[in-house]
Chains A and B, each alone.
Chain A
Amino acid sequence: MSTPTQTETTNKHGVAKLRDLWNDYLPYWFVAPMVLVMVMITFFPGAYDLYLSLIEEPTVNIFAAEFVGLENFETAFTRGGAFHSFVITVTVVVSALLLESLLGFFLAALVAGVESGRAKAFYRVLFILPMAVAPVSLATIGRLMLNTEVGIIPYVINTATPFAAPAFLSDLPLLTVILLDTWNWTPFMFIIFYAGLSSVPDTLVEASRVDGAPLWRRYIHVIIPYMKPVVFVATLIRMIDLFRTFGVVYGLTQGGPGTATQLVSINIYEQMFINNQIGVAAAIAVVYLVFVIAIANIVIAKVGFEGVWD
């Protein structure tokens, strides 16, 4: 038997060290590919956006870029209309979220209370349908239905009520946008709330009924608290989605009249593809990203995740 050479000993030692490294950090190695993917698809674009917001003009050679500090941010909030578009966005998000949550819950409660299985199935399909409409189609349909000359909605208002139909897109643009989004996305809230209602144990509801609690008390004190995680998740997801709204509003009003419905997403688009102000667009996007993350975290911190992931 030959004795191991110095080189072999060293190699063995190296392999053993590698094995130890692998074993000690095993969970991290398994997660590493996913982390890499996340860096590529999330952090890299975010970092590039930040880079664009700090330079004069985009260039492939980042070392040749002319850094302008916070100039693009200043432009965004002075003549770029960023503040106005944030106000509009928050208005739309809060209003639509509130309306969609209340309506979604109301519809879910109504359908949950229907005895017939067939009727339940029918209502479920009926109420989910609007969610299937693509944003561009919805904007096109909306423009036609709301057209004061030939639209069905003004026609119904004019003939079935004593009121004259307003010019929705020019007189009530923000309200119109909120209502159209509510029509489009209430089904999302409905379907989640309906699932949540279906998961409430019958025994709890029966017990409260036996105790003599009226319907509204059963909802306030038994059903809704039980559904809290569902309500929370649905609201959070919908809120984040609302912050991303673009297609429907752009197709319907292009952010107008004037800038009456200019959401942040529309403002970014216009700065980028119309004004060619890439740095300003990137600056607004950076602020918006931070803003949305902050809002989401505040909501999570205040409302809490208790019971959501348990």
Chain B
Amino acid sequence: MTDGYRRRQYLKGAGATSLGVLGALAGCTRGGSSSDGGSSSSGSSDGSSGGSGDSSGGGSDGGSSSSEELPIPLSEYDSADIDWQQFEGDQINIGAVQHPWVQAIKPAIPVFEELTGIDVQWNILPENQFRTKRQTDASTGAGQFDVFFMDQVVNQFRNEGWLQPLDPYFNDESLYDESFYKPNDLFESSRWQAHGGGYSDNWTGLPITVEVQTQFYRQDLYDKHDLEVAETWQQHRENAKVIDENEDVAGTSGRGQKGYGMNIYILNTFLRQKGTSLWSDFPNDSGLDTQGVIEAAEYYTSLLQDYGPDGASTQTWSDVQAAMAEGQTGHIVADANMFWGGLTNDESNVADTVQIAKVPKPEGGELNPNAFNWQISTSTNAQNSEQGFLFMLWATSPPTDLWINTESSGVFSVRQSTWENDDYISKVGEDYAQVSLESLKASAPDPFDRKYPEWGQRYSEELQRAITGQKPAEKAMKDAAATAEDIYSG
């Protein structure tokens, strides 16, 4: 393969990938940084306009609507002992990121409007602009959004008193029915993250999407070199070495760019699999200078330095996905399962050969991939929080979740029952469903404490320095530990 050919192919692939995945992997966890597009969702959006800018979720004029025309029959919600109509005629404003979940649920919004008589107004923004808008709305007490997307800053917002706990609404019999909602059907990790990742006893929001880390590899190269799917770090390293040394592509690829949703999103899995955790004694000991963390950092940095692409330290998740889709790397060591759609669609050069597997774990370690959830929350100053809670409940309820993920374009259900549903499995493919489900069951999200964005950024900078070779991984992790602890002691 000539360099010229590779370059053209890369550019074509990068462009196509950016366009194709702009939506689906907007949900891919990130932080403080890149506004790259990404991709992945398979399937269409059922005609929903996933566009940008402010847009209405459709009229609430029930005159022309009937249950027969609705995507989800209203009878699906009959079993709920909830007074759906108590806020008839009201309106809620939803602040949302341009995200595949929005695309997937929009066609079902008339169902909610018909069911409750509440009109839904969307305020959809690109992620970075949304973060700014959300912060302004919450911190100034403007309360424009009744419901809004929430991510790694959940405890930061909660600590500032900007976020409203949902427990009072769960305790309101007219708003909540446990037998209908089935909260235990939500993945344990999703429920845990919705409780502030262990930092709150209260619901801080309801999870809407989950992505879990998986491994992607090229079957053609594995067949050619008689390689086995890696279950351990050592096997993965050896496979990467064989491919790197014998093929004109990088052995492996992974996020190297700094940002609290970038390189450390990968490393946090590895360090957990080594039996260590972040903040072994919060807020005194970050745990970042323990032997397990150092070994995890050494594994990841040396893997990228030895068998990753040149300049791996600057790779974002979209660079990683583009490299894989273009056939420029043998593996993605551990990244969001939602890459699957972008790697197997028509734009991918490796669609016929790419395979998905669970992330490798260290010898003697346990599978413990990272799971990231987007959730929707309501602020302390929201004008219509009760109405917003009804929306959250409806949007994440079993019938709506199943519809989003089987009939619409969703591939990111937070409910275990959906992942086990035959229609869903046939839609997303057995490999994707099985690997994702098993990974989700074993997964754990990062505990986003209230200063996670701040010390996470510094921790990611140190890891990036190690990947670049500016300092050894051990020194980088020790410096990261000192910085994180200093931030809490200060």
Contacts and interface: CB of A to CB of B under 8 A. Distances in A.
A260 B375 CA distance: 34
Interface string A233-274: 000000000000000000001111111100000000010011
A270 B128 CA distance: 12
A155 B3 CA distance: 8
A79 interface: yes
Interface stretch (B131-139, B332-340, B385-393): B131-139
A257 B314 contact: yes
Interface in B288-337: 309-314, 323, 328
Contacts of B32: 254, 270, 273-274
Interface stretch (B70-78, B366-374, B453-461): B453-461
Contacts of B140: 58, 60
B34 A254 contact: yes
A274 B153 CA distance: 9
A256 B323 CA distance: 21
A280 to B, nearest CB: 10
A149 B131 contact: no
A274 B311 contact: no
Interface stretch (A35-43, A111-119, A162-170): A162-170
A79 B486 contact: yes
A208 interface: no
A270 B457 contact: yes
Contact of A276 (B34, B135, B250, B259): B135
A79 B479 CA distance: 12
A126 interface: no
| Interface size, A (range) | 35 or more
B257 A149 contact: no
B465 A257 contact: yes
A168 B135 CA distance: 35
A57 interface: yes
B309 A256 contact: no
A258 B153 contact: no
A75 interface: yes
B468 interface: yes
Nearest to B31: A274
Given A75-B490, A258-B461, A275-B453, A253 B7 contact: no
Contact of A167 (B3, B33, B257, B311): B311
B141 interface: yes
Contacts of B457: 270, 274-275
A78 B490 CA distance: 10
A290 B6 CA distance: 49
A167 B483 contact: no
Nearest to B454: A275
A258 B467 CA distance: 10
A276 B311 contact: no
A149 B250 contact: yes
A63 B167 CA distance: 33
| Interface size, B (range) | 35 or more
A200 to B, nearest CB: 45
A274 B7 CA distance: 34
A148 interface: yes
Interface string A56-78: 01101000000000000001001
B195 interface: no
Contacts of A255: 258
A274 B260 contact: yes
Given A169-B311, A170-B311, A277-B454, A257 B160 contact: no
Contacts of A169: 311, 313-314
Contacts of A171: 311, 468
A256 B313 contact: yes
Contacts of B310: 148-149, 167, 170
A76 to B, nearest CB: 12
A148 B313 contact: no
B468 A170 contact: yes
A229 B250 CA distance: 54
A257 B464 contact: yes
Contacts of A210: none
Nearest to B316: A254
Contacts of B276: none
Contact of A79 (B250, B312, B487): B487
Given A57-B160, A149-B310, A170-B313, A258 B470 contact: yes
Contacts of B135: 273, 276
B313 A276 contact: no
A98 to B, nearest CB: 26
B490 A149 contact: no
Given A150-B11, A155-B3, A170 B250 contact: no
Contacts of A276: 135, 153, 156, 453-454
A143 B468 CA distance: 16
Interface of A: 57-58, 60, 75, 78-79, 143-144, 147-152, 155, 159, 167-171, 253-260, 270, 273-277
Given A148-B310, A149-B10, 11 more contacts: A150-B6, A150-B7, A150-B11, A155-B7, A169-B313, A254-B33, A254-B258, A257-B467, A275-B451, A275-B453, A275-B457
Q: Which 9 A-B pairs have the closest CB atoms?
A: A148-B310, A274-B32, A275-B454, A258-B465, A167-B311, A150-B10, A257-B468, A170-B313, A167-B310
Interface of B: 3, 6-7, 10-11, 14, 31-34, 128, 131-132, 135, 139-141, 153, 156, 160, 250, 257-260, 309-314, 323, 328, 451, 453-454, 457, 461-462, 464-465, 467-468, 470, 483, 486-487, 490
29 contacts: A60-B141, A75-B490, A78-B490, A79-B483, A79-B486, A79-B490, A144-B11, A144-B14, A148-B309, A148-B311, A149-B323, A149-B328, A150-B328, A167-B311, A168-B311, A169-B311, A169-B314, A170-B467, A254-B32, A254-B34, A256-B314, A256-B461, A256-B464, A258-B258, A270-B457, A274-B457, A275-B451, A276-B135, A276-B153
